[in-house]
Each structure stands twice: as C-alpha cells, then as structure tokens.
Amino acid sequence: MLYPFPSIDGRGRRRCQKCNMGRITCPHCQGNGQVVNYIQLTVTFMNYKKDYILEQTEMPDELVRTVEGEQVFQQTQLQVNPLMAFPVKAVNDNSHRLIEEEKVGHPSERQINQRQTLRAVPVTQIDYKFKDTVSKFFVYGNERKVYSPDYPQQCCWGCNIL
C-alpha cells in the first residue's frame, strides 16, 4: 500500500522530527491512517428544449404546446439527423435549423443524447355567424380545448361548446 506521505506507516502516526525515535499523531490524517483529503465533483444534467410550431390559423401558437397530439416521429441518439423526407418543407428546414443551433449552442457542455419529436396536434377552425356577426373559434388538441377570443356571449348564460 502506498501512502502519500512517506513518513506515515498506515497507522496514523509518524516519527517525531525532533528526536527521530518517538511517534506522533499525523497532522494530515489526524491519526486515522488515511489521508482525509478528497475532491468533490458535482455533475449537473441540463435538458434544453427548443421547438418549432407550424400552425397556420389565427390561433396563438403557444396554445399548441399545452395539449396532447399524436406522435408522428421520434428519434433519440447521441446526435440526431435532421428530417429530410417529411412532405412539408418548413418542417424539414426547421428540423435542420434547430439541430444546427444545438451543435454550437453549448460549447462548454458535454452532450449525452438528443431527441427529436414530431407531433401532430389537431386544430379545427370553425367559422360562424351570430346575430349578423361573423366570427370564428378553434377546437384544438386531443382534449378538444376551445379558443374563442371574440365569443359573442361573455356571460354565463351563453351556449356551451361540447
């Protein structure tokens, strides 16, 4: 067994420097026979999320983030590949853009894995006419949430959308 201090015999005591005969308690290990120095390593895992939403109605895009949809594609690897054969060019282009941004986005961090997920969230726009007012509302997500920014009946006696 090697000891970091040659004068320590593994029992936590060493020779006295003055008389060279007696034994004194080692100040480095406080008599434990092992050096109590250590290095503390802290590892932090970070998840970075970026997304692109292709939603072509007047409904705010951020509403799509909060609902369930159908998973169309998912890829998990050390380095994912951009989508190239999806029928919508904007999806392919933004897949490539997001992956390129991540390559240079965190230069001092080690990347363990990447995941790319493509979800299809249903969004339906309903145009209607109520008392000579033409407007629209949206039903979105698998939960069938409703977004109606200018619903004509704002009080509790209005109709319900089921």
pLDDT reported for residue 37 = 62
pLDDT reported for residue 1 = 42
Domain encompassing residue 103: 70-119
Residue 146 lies in a domain: no
Residue 55 lies in a domain: no
Residue 140 lies in a domain: no
Residue 47 lies in a domain: no
Overall number of domains in the chain:
2
Residues listed for the chain: 162
Chain-centroid distance, C-alpha 95:
17
Confidence of residue 146 (pLDDT cuts 50, 70, 90): very high
Tally Cβ neighbours within 10 Å of residue 29: 21
Reported pTM: 0.63
pLDDT digits (tens, 9 = 90+) for 49-86: 999 999 999 999 999 999 999 999 999 999 999 999 99
Residue 99 lies in a domain: yes
pLDDT digits (tens, 9 = 90+) for 92-127: 999 999 999 988 888 888 888 999 999 999 999 999
